């Protein structure tokens, strides 16, 4: 049985991943940590929870030792738009947190997962069906952090034998915990506003394609990769994965199948648009499929149906 430490456990991925991991591995075997504690929160209430600022290496090591963890899932990070506004803070948190977590994994001999992103690609990367191994010269601080993180995880694998694994996540869509400070957040906000107001003003321009994935597929991907037989993995950090690629008009059309009067207009935010324009239109997940059996259940329409149903229940 695994004993797992999760950082950033109250964030968009963590708040659902912790609950799923506790279902699989047992409540007491998943230690959730975050920089803040929330009252009446299922992650805090259903198993061990510790306050942890990931830039504090001693406290992280202490928690890992106390609970005798054998797996670290390191999620705490600033997303792309926030990182662009606060580049030094992003470097300190995204890189400082990662190296601290890798050091704990090395010392405690833990298996290790941290997500990379489509943000690890840049304007000189092939834009369509972006290959697994290709040019990575991102022009955002977030992208610089993600490429450096991929390289650092590979370094810890080759140099110290730490079992590091990772995926390049596309934009993640969920009805549970909203993302904060990402470029792809519009694809979550649009569903909330469709239910609340029947309309949405997009900060991303029509015609801008980005990869996306529904949260249940993202959670399955993390668990499947962490359980995969190491001998099958030719890559480690990090695998391209995606479930769909769409632009704002296409998600609006999918919403109109359920809310026919839904209106979409635009007030483009130049900063986030520039980030989106530097990312691929669609990435190729073949290596993930071949090496550990990645697959996604949800396409755009299946996700839209579930998002609108779940948000309807949540918001009304």
Q: Which is nearer to ligand AKB, 64 or 79 (CB)?
A: 79
Distance CA 274, CA 91 (A): 20
Number of H helices, E strands in the chain: 13, 14
Q: What is the phi-psi region of residue 200: left when phi exceeds 0, alpha when psi lies from -120 to 50, beta otherwise?
A: beta
Angstrom CA distances, 151 to 166, 224, 246, stand at 11, 22, 29
Candidate list 15, 100, 111, 117; residue touching ligand AKB; CB under 6 A: 117
Nearest to 16 by CA among 217, 205, 225: 217
Q: Which of 79, 147, 219, 251 binds ligand AKB (CB under 6 A)?
A: 79
> Is residue 166 at the binding interface for ligand AKB, with CB under 6 A as the rule?
no
Q: For ligand AKB, give the closer residue by CB, 28 or 85.
A: 85
User: Closer CB to ligand AKB, residue 33 or residue 82?
Assistant: 82
| Beta carbon nearer to ligand AKB, 90 or 101 | 90
Q: Are 187 and 193 in contact (CB under 8 A)?
A: no
Q: Which stretch binds ligand AKB (CB under 6 A): 46-54, 166-174, 201-209, 290-298?
A: 166-174
CB-facing half-sphere around the CA of 270: CA atoms within 13 A: 0
For ligand AKB, which residue of 14, 47, 97, 119 counts as binding (CB under 6 A)?
119
**Residue 74 three-state SS:** strand
Q: Which is nearer to ligand AKB, 117 or 254 (CB)?
A: 117
Report if residue 125 touches ligand AKB, rule: CB under 6 A: no
Taking the alpha carbons of 38, 41, 45, 46 in that order, is the dihedral positive or negative? negative
Q: Is 174 exposed, middle or buried (0-12, 13-18, 19+ CB in 10 A)?
A: buried
Q: What value, to the nearest 5°, has the Cα angle with vertex 180 and ends 85 and 114?
A: 95
For ligand AKB, which stretch binds (CB under 6 A), given 100-108, 115-123, 124-132, 228-236? 115-123
Q: How far is the CB of 154 from ligand AKB (least distance, A)?
A: 19
- Has 266 been annotated as catalytic? no
How is the beta sheet containing 239-240 ordered, strand by strand? 116-117, 167-169, 239-240
Is 118 near ligand AKB (CB under 6 A)? yes
* Using rule CB under 6 A, residue 8 touches ligand AKB: no
Determine, following the binding rule CB under 6 A, whether residue 182 of this chain makes contact with ligand AKB: yes
Answer yes or no whether residue 171 interacts with ligand AKB by CB under 6 A. yes
Beta bridge partners of 266: 202
- How far apart CA 158 and CA 154 sit, in angstroms, is 6
CB-nearest residue to ligand AKB: 182
Tokens standing for residue 172 = 């993640």
Question: At its nearest, how many Å lie between ligand AKB and the CB of residue 272?
Answer: 8
For position 80 contacting ligand AKB by CB under 6 A, the verdict is yes
Of 142, 191, 200, 214, catalytic: 142
C-alpha dist (Å) from residue 85 to 76, 196, 243 = 18, 29, 29
Using CB under 6 A, which residues numbered 129 to 148 contact ligand AKB? 142
Residues in the interface with ligand AKB (CB under 6 A) total 13
Identify which of residues 97 and 179 has a Cβ nearer to ligand AKB in the complex. Answer: 179
Q: Give min distance, CB of 229 to ligand AKB, in A.
A: 28
Q: Which positions from 249 through 288 interact with ligand AKB, judged by CB under 6 A?
A: none
Catalytic positions, written as ranges:
142
Residues that bind ligand AKB (CB under 6 A): 79-80, 117-119, 142, 169-171, 179, 182-184
């Amino acid at each position: 049985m695994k004993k797992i430490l999760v950082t950033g456990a109250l964030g968009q991925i963590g708040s659902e991943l912790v609950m799923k991991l506790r279902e699989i591995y047992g409540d007491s075997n998943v230690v959730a940590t975050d920089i803040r504690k929330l009252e009446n929160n299922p992650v805090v209430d259903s198993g061990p929870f510790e306050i942890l600022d990931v830039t504090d290496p001693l406290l992280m090591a202490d928690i890992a030792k106390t609970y005798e963890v054998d797996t670290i899932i390191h999620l705490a990070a600033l997303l792309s738009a926030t990182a662009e506004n606060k580049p030094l803070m992003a470097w300190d948190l995204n890189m400082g947190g990662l190296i601290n977590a890798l050091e704990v994994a090395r010392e405690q001999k833990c298996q290790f997962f941290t997500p990379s992103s489509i943000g690890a690609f840049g304007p000189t990367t092939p834009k369509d069906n972006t290959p697994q191994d290709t040019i990575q010269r991102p022009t955002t601080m977030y992208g610089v952090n993600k490429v450096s993180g991929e390289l650092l995880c590979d370094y810890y694998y080759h140099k110290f034998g730490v079992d590091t694994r990772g995926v390049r996540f596309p934009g993640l869509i969920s009805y549970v915990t909203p993302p904060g400070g990402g470029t792809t957040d519009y694809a979550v906000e649009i569903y909330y506003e469709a239910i609340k107001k029947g309309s949405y003003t997009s900060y991303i321009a029509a015609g801008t394609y980005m990869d996306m994935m529904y949260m249940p597929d993202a959670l399955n991907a993390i668990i499947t990769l962490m359980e995969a037989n190491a001998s099958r993995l030719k890559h480690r950090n990090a695998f391209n994965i995606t479930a769909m690629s769409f632009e704002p008009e296409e998600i609006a059309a999918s919403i109109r199948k359920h809310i026919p009067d839904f209106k979409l207009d635009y007030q483009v935010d130049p900063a986030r648009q520039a980030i989106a324009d530097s990312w691929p239109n669609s990435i190729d997940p073949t290596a993930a499929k071949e090496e550990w059996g990645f697959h996604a259940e949800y396409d755009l329409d299946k996700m839209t149906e579930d998002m609108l149903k779940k948000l309807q229940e949540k918001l009304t």
